[in-house]
Amino acid sequence: MTRSTRDAPAPSAASEPSEPPEPTEPPEPTEPTGADGAPPVSGPPGGPRTLLSWARNTWRGLVSMRTALVLLFLLAVAALPGALLPQRSLNPAKITEYRDQHPWLGPLLDRLGFFDVFASPWFAAIYLLLFVSLIGCLTPRTLEYARACRARPVVTPRNLFRLPHHASALVDGPPEQALEQVRSRLRGWRVREEPDGAGGYTVSAEKGYLREAGNLVFHLALVGLLIGFAVGKLFGYEGQVIVLTGGNQFCNSGILGYDSFKAGNLVDGTSLNQFCVKVDTFNAQYLPNGQPDHYEAAIGYQAGADLAAGSDGPWRPYQLKVNSPLRVAGDRVYLLGHGYAPTFTVTFPDGTARTQTIQWKPADQSTMLSEGATKFDRPGLADEASRRQNQIAVTGLLAPTSSGGKVITSVFPALLHPEVAVDVVRGDLGLDDGRGQSIFEVSQAQLESGALKRVARQNLQPGEQIRLDDGTTVRFDSVTQWVDLQISHDPAEDFVLVFAVLILLGLGTSLTIKRRRFWAKIRPAQAPADQGRTVMEIGGLARTDQAGYGEEFGRLRAALLGAAGADESENTNTSRPDGGPRDRGGSA
């Protein structure tokens, strides 16, 4: 996660390691302009040079860590209204409510895009700037990392005792033997050995290159994720449709088949993935307290070659459940909801009868008390005016398990004792005035204007009927279940998943692997008493914010120097805040 110079080569390995100097960009050698946005000392004001340096300084400012920090913070703050205010994509009705309650603030927020936060220009501006900053920072770092991977470890500092971890001891055997010891201990490290010109050797070693790789993978995968997200939003679609059980079908052939349809900007609805779904039965199980326990719809589907056979052709069965969508032809079919559709038969005085089954919508999800309107056109009337005066609608409430009594309500969501409480209205339903009308209610305007009159109000159980003044009867026959299906298409879903996994892997790598250095100086002992022995000095430096290097260094020290080196190092370690004996392991 580090984007500053934390991981960049320190000017001198032996300088204060816990606080490396901070300039986010090394100053350009050919240009007197500093990285801190200072104006250039040369060049006429307002000339192309000024413009150029202004552009460069802006760019540097944009890709700096501080800017990234500010943009990240802005991103978090800007996303918050998306959770606190009603959002158009989730619940448009709530926005109307909010606007009514806040007549001054509501429209203002709406104009500023606060009800579409994640589609608003200001939110886009923040994350696009953030990603520009990210790419501007990543590109040089990737190149630098590629160079660093080929580069040899840095030379051994002159004074190892200025490092946070260090020790020295006199070991037995000639320098070559000690060198061999060091070599065998540094398997898996990148090692550079050099003779010091006086019969000894210096060894510098470095490990943990994968940290930066993980860091880069993480950030690049974020870019990939954003692209995948955008592709999904541009080419994806999502539509809902209510299908009655009992073998009714839905075919994904065009957007007109849907009750509601949300398409990406590049979807015109002409080339949806072809498949058909047939809903046979729906089964809901409830706990005694009415809480739903299980939903399951038995459906059949056709795709590909099966489609040619038509609706009589083979239907592949599938049990559609809440957590197991049907994945077919590149689309997904979800079971989103369910409800009841009462069947009414209207028998007109001339003996003609019309039967309809139309979905009513649940008004109360816990008891499935439903409301709706079933609308009839009287047949056999050629005259347009009298046809309009004789339309009939049955509207009211449906209780799947009725409480009984004069005013009914539903006491249980399952279909145990269905009963409807309905008004029958007659007149002009207003279906021909060119305006869209909800299928769940009759036009309130028509009722108020008197064009539509209530002619009966009654509670009905299945089989019961109402007789109107003109001899028309309205019979409540039965109740059918319907299911609410959602069909979703997102071509980039797998792409996004791959990048999400890469994000996780990159993050794990960059936060667990530590970049660390180790040095050893081996030279023949000078004192005559120690002929044939070797002085070994070792030093270590963890180059990342989270050190935790103490334990590993301790093991190296014990292996290379034995007990002789241990004491000295222990003393220095306890005095360092960064590498004491408590400093074990990576994470707490």
Partner 1 sequence: MPVNATLATYSDYAFHSAVGIYLLAMLLHLGEYARTRVPAALARVRVPAGAPAIADAASAATDVTPADPTAAPGPAAGPAASADQPGRPWRERFGRMAVALTVLGALVQIGSVATRGFAVGRWPWGNMYEFISAVCLMAVLTWLYVLRRSPAIRPLGAFVLLPVEVLLFLAGSALYVRPAPVMPALQSYWLTIHVTAVSLASGLLMVSGVASVLYLLRRYSRAGWLDVLPAADALDRVAYRVTIFAFPLYTFAIICGAIWAEAAWGRFWGWDPKETVAFVVWVVYACYLHARSTAGWRTGGAAWINVCGLAAVLFNLFFINLVTTGLHSYAGVG
CA distance 24 to 136: 13
CB 165 within 8 Å of CB 541: yes
Regarding 30 and contact with partner 1 (CB under 8 A), the answer is no
For partner 1 (CB under 8 A), the number of binding residues is 63
CB 562 within 8 Å of CB 185: no
Among 30, 101, 526, 587, binds partner 1 (CB under 8 A): 587
Name the β-bridge partners of 261: 239
CA distance 280 to 243: 10
Is residue 113 left, alpha or beta, with left meaning phi > 0 and alpha meaning psi from -120 to 50?
left
Regarding 125 and contact with partner 1 (CB under 8 A), the answer is no
The DSSP secondary structure of 100-136, one letter per residue, reads HH-TTHHHHHHHTTTTSGGGSHHHHHHHHHHHHHHHH
Regarding 79 and contact with partner 1 (CB under 8 A), the answer is yes
- How long a stretch of residues is the chain? 588
CB 459 within 8 Å of CB 474: no
Nearer to partner 1, 289 or 526 (CB): 289
Q: How far is the CB of 508 from partner 1 (least distance, A)?
A: 5
Place of tokens 């400093």: 583
Among 80, 149, 151, 559, binds partner 1 (CB under 8 A): 80
Q: Which region, judged by CB under 8 A, interacts with partner 1, from 147-155, 156-164, 184-192, 502-510?
A: 502-510
Nearer to partner 1, 392 or 513 (CB): 513
CB 84 within 8 Å of CB 78: no
Q: Which of 558, 586, 559, 583 is nearest to 573 (CA)?
A: 583
Nearer to partner 1, 51 or 504 (CB): 504
Q: Alpha helix locations (H) across 474-549?
A: 493-512
Regarding 334 and contact with partner 1 (CB under 8 A), the answer is yes
CA distance 21 to 10: 8
Handedness of CA 478, 483, 484, 487 (dihedral sign): negative
Q: Which of 45, 38, 30, 43 is nearest to 61 (CA)?
A: 38
Nearer to partner 1, 113 or 404 (CB): 113
Q: Which region, judged by CB under 8 A, interacts with partner 1, from 187-195, 321-329, 343-351, 439-447?
A: 321-329
Regarding 273 and contact with partner 1 (CB under 8 A), the answer is no
Site for partner 1 in 335-354 (CB under 8 A): 336
Nearer to partner 1, 298 or 456 (CB): 298
Which pair of tokens denotes residue 140? 């040089």
Q: Which region, judged by CB under 8 A, interacts with partner 1, from 84-92, 202-210, 311-319, 429-437?
A: 84-92
Q: How far is the CB of 247 from partner 1 (least distance, A)?
A: 24
Q: How far is the CB of 245 from partner 1 (least distance, A)?
A: 17
Regarding 322 and contact with partner 1 (CB under 8 A), the answer is yes
Nearer to partner 1, 170 or 511 (CB): 511
* Interface contacts to partner 1, rule CB under 8 A: 1-4, 6, 22, 65-66, 68-69, 72-73, 75-76, 79-80, 82-84, 87, 89-90, 117-118, 229, 238, 287, 289, 291-295, 321-325, 332, 334, 336, 486, 488, 490, 493, 496-497, 500-501, 503-504, 507-508, 511, 545-546, 577, 582, 584-588
